[in-house]
């Protein structure tokens, strides 16, 4: 099969297509024929060599994909050959024509959800769900600021929050992106590229601030975020690419909570409940992954350039 291989950490060009042997499923494993693979920022951090977790070289990047079950190993009974699935991790890498998964990394893809959309589910929707409901304990009627709403996690957070009855304010850096955020269910949008954009929250919340912030770029926004949280507000750091100085008094004076999310820290029972919630949303149509760009598998390097370039518009997926 064709797979993208990384033989040294470095710029996007270190990702090259190669012919590699087809993996074979062992006990309790499933082999998935990949129809689309999701690009996540973490794939680019890992490839660059700057991320805390480094895979052994050479490796095939990617954790998210959707496709069809091609083979199952002994004792694997959750899915059958020919079933449409999305995956939440793989031992052989998602940027490939086939991916070898543990049985519990394979989930049914509801009818009506395309393979490209399926590749956009795992990290974005799981992260957004965990941030909103497992960490921030969002309740219907509360107000949430999705700070960075145009990309993978942001779009998922907007759809999830809206479906749960929250008032949703989303930010984007482009006009086109902000239009997308409105179409996904936000009540209004702000431009995070404009200085002082959070002042726009005052008229929207009657000056009381927002109950929840889901933050995609904490190293830029954390200090100002803390000043627009309501009393008892909760802020969840999803993304951060550096350091920032804050005033702890802003947390104290609001009895606010600042937390982080990291998918790998999820307990088994939390994942089971999260998967059930995502399945329900995908089946009833409240969750509709947005795929802005489909790129051939062999052009993975270009996909990494684009995900780090800004101007997000939903997800970028690779198509073998």
Ligand X SMILES: NC(=O)c1ccc[n+]([C@@H]2O[C@H](COP(=O)([O-])OP(=O)(O)OC[C@H]3O[C@@H](n4cnc5c(N)ncnc54)[C@H](OP(=O)(O)O)[C@@H]3O)[C@@H](O)[C@H]2O)c1
Can you give the binding site for ligand X, defined by CB under 6 A? 40-42, 123-124, 127, 147-154, 171-174, 177, 192, 216-217, 220-221, 238-239, 261-263, 307, 310-312
Q: Which residues of 31-43 are buried (b: 16+ CB within 10 A; e: fewer)?
A: bbbbbbbbbbbbb
Helix (H, G, I), strand (E, B) or coil at 16: strand
The Cα 184–Cα 290 span in angstroms is 9
Closest CB 239 distance from ligand X, rounded Å: 3
Q: Which of 107, 129, 104 is nearest to 119 (CA)?
A: 107
Sort 112 into a burial class: Cβ within 10 Å, 0-12 / 13-18 / 19+.
exposed
The nearer residue to ligand X, 9 or 45, going by C-beta atoms, is 45
The nearer residue to ligand X, 29 or 184, going by C-beta atoms, is 184
Q: Which of 129, 147, 145 is nearest to 137 (CA)?
A: 129
Q: Which residue is nearest to ligand X (CB)?
A: 151
Closest CB 72 distance from ligand X, rounded Å: 29
Torsion of CA 296, 299, 304, 308, to 10 degrees: -80
The nearer residue to ligand X, 39 or 76, going by C-beta atoms, is 39
Closest CB 74 distance from ligand X, rounded Å: 33
The nearer residue to ligand X, 166 or 216, going by C-beta atoms, is 216
Closest CB 216 distance from ligand X, rounded Å: 4
Closest CB 69 distance from ligand X, rounded Å: 26
> Residues with Cβ < 8 Å from 53, sequence gap 6 or more?
46
The nearer residue to ligand X, 27 or 195, going by C-beta atoms, is 195
């Amino acid at each position: 099969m064709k797979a993208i291989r990384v033989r040294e950490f470095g710029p996007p060009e270190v990702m090259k297509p190669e012919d590699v042997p087809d993996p074979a499923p062992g006990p309790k494993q499933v082999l998935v024929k990949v129809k689309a693979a999701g690009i996540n920022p973490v794939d680019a951090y890992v490839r660059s060599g700057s991320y805390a977790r480094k895979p052994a070289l050479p490796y095939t990047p990617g954790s998210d994909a959707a496709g069809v079950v091609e083979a199952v190993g002994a004792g694997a009974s959750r899915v059958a050959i020919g079933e449409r699935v999305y995956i939440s991790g793989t031992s052989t890498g998602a940027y490939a024509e086939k991916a070898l998964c543990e049985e519990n990394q394979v989930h049914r893809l509801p009818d009506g959800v395309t393979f490209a959309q399926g590749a956009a589910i795992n990290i974005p929707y799981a992260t957004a769900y965990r941030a909103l409901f497992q960490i921030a304990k969002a309740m219907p009627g509360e107000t949430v600021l999705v700070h960075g709403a145009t990309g993978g996690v942001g779009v998922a957070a907007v759809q999830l929050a809206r479906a749960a009855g929250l008032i949703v304010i989303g930010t984007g850096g482009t006009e086109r992106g902000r239009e997308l955020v409105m179409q996904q269910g936000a009540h209004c949008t702000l431009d995070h590229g404009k200085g002082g954009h959070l002042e726009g929250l005052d008229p929207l919340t009657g000056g009381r601030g927002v109950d929840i912030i889901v933050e995609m770029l904490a190293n830029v926004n954390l200090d100002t975020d803390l000043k627009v949280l309501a009393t008892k507000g909760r802020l969840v750091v999803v993304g951060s690419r550096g350091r920032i100085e804050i005033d702890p008094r802003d947390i104290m004076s609001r009895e606010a909570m600042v937390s982080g999310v990291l998918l790998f820290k999820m307990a088994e029972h939390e994942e089971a409940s999260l998967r059930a919630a995502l399945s329900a949303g995908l089946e009833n149509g409240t969750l509709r992954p947005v795929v802005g760009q489909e790129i051939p598998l062999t052009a993975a390097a270009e996909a990494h350039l684009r995900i780090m370039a800004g101007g997000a518009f939903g997800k970028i997926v690779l198509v073998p």
